[in-house]
Amino acid sequence: MINGCLEYETAVVEINFPKGEARCKLCPLLQTYRRDQCMRTGELIPDTQGRGIWCPLRFLREVTDDELKEEE
């Protein structure tokens, strides 16, 4: 019998960025030991001022005050 994981659970964690500054340079998932690399996807990041092609981050849509007033 081979021991191993037969089932997985998915967890979600919040990563906060300054507004409008969601980029690899500020992400805690960026590994900078030898080369800049995303610890989540393994992608090498040549320019940390942007986001990687395979960046898994999905952003929540912000609700404006006007949208909240429309719902009332």
Q: Are 45 and 53 in contact (CB under 8 A)?
A: no
User: Stretch 39-62: mean pLDDT, rounded?
Assistant: 91
Give the pLDDT score at 37: 97
Q: Are 48 and 38 in contact (CB under 8 A)?
A: no
Q: How many CA atoms lie within 13 A of 70 on its CB side?
A: 5
pLDDT tens readout for residues 21-47: 999 999 999 999 989 999 999 999 999
